[in-house]
Amino acid sequence: MVNSARLTLQLQSSCQYSFFSKKQSIPCTIFTHISTKCSTTLAMSQKKSEELLVVVGGGAAGIYGAIWAKTVAPNLNVVVIEKGKPLTKVKISGGGRCNVTNGHYVDNLILAENYPRGHKELRGSFFKMHSPTDTVLWFSNHGVILKTEDDGRVFPVSDSSSSIIDCLMSEAKKRGVVLQTGNVVMSASATTGRNFSIKIRKRMSEHVENVEANYLLVASGSSQEGYGLATQLDHSIIKPVPSLFTFKIDDMKLKELTGVTLNRVKAKLKLETVKKNIPQLTQIGPMLVTHWGLSGPVILRLSAWGARDFSDTGYKGTLLVDFVPDIGADDLHALLIRHKNQFQKQKLLNSYPSELGLVKRFWKYILDRQGFDEDILWASVSKNFLFSVATLLKSCSFEVKGKGQFKDEFVTAGGVPLSEIFINTMESRIHSNLFFAGEILNVDGVTGGFNFQNAWSGGYIAGISIGKLAAAAKVEEGSDLVCS
Ligand SMILES: Cc1cc2nc3c(=O)[nH]c(=O)nc-3n(C[C@H](O)[C@H](O)[C@H](O)COP(=O)(O)OP(=O)(O)OC[C@H]3O[C@@H](n4cnc5c(N)ncnc54)[C@H](O)[C@@H]3O)c2cc1C
């Protein structure tokens, strides 16, 4: 086995960012028992080389996991290998503000319902071990004050993702995490003795370094290389497909409404490949008209819940929109009759029931779409007119021709199946000492901070699990020495 202490020094020599340990003590409130045991054996166990954790990926899950592993086991060597710059997605997320988590869910069962992939598996220990409240507490305890907006999204009060990045980087540095940037983990295999043999291609060169690690945390997000590593380590990969995208709709008249927000619609996505009724393929909430088609929370949620089936249909489907979900069909009809009787001398375009809550531009779209002359008077409209307007408002059909990309958030569905890991430790069911966290897993959330929460919770659980194993190994090692 390669001496891990020597290895760490080698790694540091090529680092863009190198953080050297200042030997932090474990917070007493959380890990008092480990801390006490460690301190009694420290003198003896220091004679042996320390163990090494290699973290693949310096994103949210990897850096947070590394910090927690080092928090629990300060003597563990923790090296994060990042092929680009660390925390890149944190930087660009939430339009540069970083939507860290979601503050509207105290009940973990309801919180889990925001994950189209993971909603069943994440109901139990996952958020119990590290919830959005824990995330908010951790950041505020480390100097980043967060605020919750009306829709539940949590941001730093600075409205800058740099606050989150600076906090994580400074804590990683303080804990002694080594960060190596610009290097790619090319391959990994399990060796006998529960170790991992890892090949790392050095930055800007063809030089490949062989490393042997005691623990491996794969937190490589949605990168192909990461999926490759998981397969080399005998895991399967559920085909990755995009989630959180807008719908492309070719409708010139709709395009004229670009920028209009419909505050509350009920939209149902119908896909040829989906025969059974999936409740989540109907969503209620705001919808936005864009030059490309339709967007907004309702559309993004539909894209997430329909991600896999949508991919199978080549992103073709039908969207049925109820623009007045709070008014029943009969009441709507009665409302239109009342309006006709009351406003006989008004032109169709200039007058419509305010109860519909629609902007004039949108009312015009409805009239145009049915081919009605907007200049005729209400007095002259027929029963058929009233019926077809009511029908259109309650069930307006749009042909979805493809997917666009949502600029603020984007995530990949698919990856390592959750059935192949223990959720309460994030350890592989196939290889001991191998852990996964973040987007590499087949977990993705709807928009609103849920995807980062998956990274924080997964990173935390993996980090403390590894830390506990390392601390226990150290105690054992110390005991051996005492006994011999
Ligand atoms: C534009 C955009 C905005 C977003 N906004 C939000 C938001 O506001 N709120 C929210 O909750 N979610 C948001 N998301 C989703 C969120 O960013 C991800 O879910 C989250 O970053 C996943 O964290 P991760 O650590 O698992 O993966 P990542 O953040 O992708 O980190 C993985 C890291 O691993 C590195 N890596 C991969 N393979 C290797 C290898 N072989 N060797 C070395 N390094 C490797 C990558 O370079 C990367 O830095 C957004 C996503 C995008 C694209």
pLDDT in tens, 14-25: 333 334 333 333
Other C-beta atoms within 10 Å of 48: how many? 13
The per-residue pLDDT for 475 is 76
Residue closest by Cα to atom 30 of ligand 1: 221
Q: Is 211 in the pocket of ligand 1 (CB under 6 A)?
A: no
Which residue in 57, 56, 50 sits closest to 2, CA to CA?
50
The per-residue pLDDT for 133 is 96
User: CA dihedral defined by 370, 373, 375, 376, rounded to 10 degrees?
Assistant: -100
Distance CA 212, CA 394 (A): 62
Which domains, ranges and CATH numbers included, belong to the chain? 4-240+409-483 (3.50.50.60), 245-405 (no CATH)
Q: Is 60 in the pocket of ligand 1 (CB under 6 A)?
A: yes
Q: Is 324 in the pocket of ligand 1 (CB under 6 A)?
A: no
> Which residue stretches of the chain have pLDDT < 70?
1-49, 478-484
Calculate how far, in angstroms, residue 59's C-alpha sits from the geometric centre of ligand 1: 5
Distance CA 403, CA 307 (A): 10
CA-to-CA dists, residue 316 to 185, 268, 310, 372, 444, angstroms:
37, 14, 7, 29, 22
Calculate how far, in angstroms, residue 440's C-alpha sits from the geometric centre of ligand 1: 9
Q: Is 93 in the pocket of ligand 1 (CB under 6 A)?
A: yes
The per-residue pLDDT for 49 is 60
Report residue 206 as tokens.
């063809």
Other C-beta atoms within 10 Å of 358: how many? 20
Calculate how far, in angstroms, residue 100's C-alpha sits from the geometric centre of ligand 1: 13
The per-residue pLDDT for 13 is 34
Q: Is 448 in the pocket of ligand 1 (CB under 6 A)?
A: no
- Per DSSP, the three-state class of 189 is strand
Ligand 1 atom closest to the Cα of residue 97 is: 8
Q: Rounded to two decimals, what is the model's pTM?
A: 0.88
Ligand 1 atom closest to the Cα of residue 225 is: 41
User: What's the pLDDT tens digit per position in 276-286?
Assistant: 889 999 999 99
> Which residue out of 154, 159, 181, 451 has the highest number of ligand 1 atoms within 8 Å of its CB and is therefore the one to mutate?
451
Calculate how far, in angstroms, residue 338's C-alpha sits from the geometric centre of ligand 1: 54
Q: Is 226 in the pocket of ligand 1 (CB under 6 A)?
A: yes
Question: Which residue type sits at 296?
Answer: G
> Which residue out of 89, 244, 300 has the highest number of ligand 1 atoms within 8 Å of its CB and is therefore the one to mutate?
89
Q: Is 115 in the pocket of ligand 1 (CB under 6 A)?
A: no
The per-residue pLDDT for 479 is 57
Ligand 1 atom closest to the Cα of residue 407 is: 1
Q: Is 56 in the pocket of ligand 1 (CB under 6 A)?
A: yes
